[in-house]
Amino acid sequence: MKHEGYAGICACCFEPVRQGEEYRFPGSSATFHARCVELYPNSYSVKKERHKAELRAIASVK
Ligand SMILES: [Zn+2]
């Protein structure tokens, strides 16, 4: 279900993310609040998506 004005559900806190408040790691489809990435850099889902983005960056350099 998609709500008008919302970018998705935050993979960190599972609350809806309003458009303009979202953050996605490069190449990732997982949606976060920009503030959750900032406040909880060590949360499992933030670390997982950051790690995947780093792997993609390394792979694209090769
Ligand atoms: Zn959040």
Closest CA to 36 of 57, 15, 8: 15
pLDDT more than 90, % of the chain: 89
Task: Report the SS3 class of residue 44.
Answer: helix
What does the alpha-carbon distance between residue 7 and residue 36 come to, in Å, rounded to a whole number?
14
Q: How far is the CA of 28 from the centre of ligand 1 (A)?
A: 16
11-41 pLDDT, tens digit each: 999 999 999 999 999 999 999 999 999 999 9
- Residue ranges per domain, the chain? 6-61
Q: How far is the CA of 34 from the centre of ligand 1 (A)?
A: 8
Q: What is the pLDDT of residue 61?
A: 82
Q: How far is the CA of 57 from the centre of ligand 1 (A)?
A: 24
Q: How far is the CA of 61 from the centre of ligand 1 (A)?
A: 30
Q: How far is the CA of 44 from the centre of ligand 1 (A)?
A: 13
Q: What is the pTM of this model?
A: 0.85
